[in-house]
Amino acid sequence: MSTSDNILLRKILAGKEEEIVELYNLYKDDFLRWAKFKFRLSEEEAIDIFQDAIIAFYKNIKSGKIIQIDYSIKNYLYAIGKNLISNKLKFNQKFENEFEKLEYKLFVENEEDRIENLEARQNVMKALEALGDPCKTILKLFYFDRFSMEDIAREVNSKNANVAKAQKNRCINELRKLVLKTFKEGDFF
């Protein structure tokens, strides 16, 4: 992996949205040209796929599913994009050989698992919408951006990591209560 990729990867690991937006703008034009040319996607379809590829990449990096990128971030993004396109095109026979070439372990979420769990997840999303700050910020920093409790304490001006952790636990309980208050328990099982 190149030095510039290494720097960018470190910035993404340590950061939040700004770095991922930088990555998005860095590779967007090349990706769109490639996706439109190779898979005959419209501009809008290609943009949508690239945004989803960036999000999948971010989640994989942050969750530690990717601990090393052998070649380049760009290659990895293209591979995720190709995987997402194959889902979108429902494995169009025309591109079958192309998709067989995939070599990366991509960790793109299993769509069947998602759909099975969809209603319950949507209920949680509605509850999150009702949850105020700083809870929403703390939960995002911990579960999505994967910040350490020390970093979260700094971000939300908590006294220390222990205080931030207690805040995070209170926020989860708050979310749980909101979910169970709004929806029947049966919605989850």
Partner 1 sequence: MENNKPDLEEVNAFLEGKMNEEERVRFEKKITTDALFAREFQLKKALLGGMEDYFSNQLKKRLQQEEKPTTGNSRRLKIYRIAAIAASIVLILFSTFQIWFSVTSHEAIFAEFYQPYPNVVDGTERQMSEETLSPFQIYENKDYEKAIATFKNELALDPEDVALNFYMALSHLALGNAGEAIPFLEKNQSGPKEDELQEANEWFLALAYLKAGHRENAMNLFSEISGSSSSYQESAKKVMEKLK
Give the interface with partner 1 as residue ranges (CB under 8 A): 17, 20-21, 24-25, 28, 30, 33-34, 36-38, 47, 51-52, 54-55, 58-59, 63-65, 70-71, 74-75, 78-79, 82, 101-104, 114, 117, 120-125, 127-129, 139-140, 143-144, 172, 175-176, 179-180, 185, 188-189
Q: How far is the CB of 42 from partner 1 (least distance, A)?
A: 11
79 or 164: CB nearest partner 1: 79
- Separation between Cα atoms, residue 77 and residue 169, nearest integer Å: 34
Q: How far is the CB of 61 from partner 1 (least distance, A)?
A: 13
Q: How far is the CB of 134 from partner 1 (least distance, A)?
A: 15
3 or 189: CB nearest partner 1: 189
Q: How far is the CB of 107 from partner 1 (least distance, A)?
A: 10
- Separation between Cα atoms, residue 156 and residue 62, nearest integer Å: 20
59 or 154: CB nearest partner 1: 59
Contact 128, 144 (CB under 8 A): no
Task: Please report how the helices 3-14 and 73-88 are oriented relative to each other, as an axis angle in degrees rounded to 10.
Answer: 70
Q: How far is the CB of 106 from partner 1 (least distance, A)?
A: 11
Kindly give the residue spans of alpha helices, DSSP state H, lying in 17-69. Answer: 17-39, 43-62
State the burial class of residue 59 (Cβ atoms within 10 Å of its Cβ: 0-12, 13-18, 19+): middle
101 or 159: CB nearest partner 1: 101
123 or 158: CB nearest partner 1: 123
The three-point CA angle 121-124-127 to 5° equals: 155
Return the exposure string of 152-168: e unless at least 16 CB atoms fall within 10 Å of the residue's CB, then b.
Answer: bbebbebeeeeebbebb
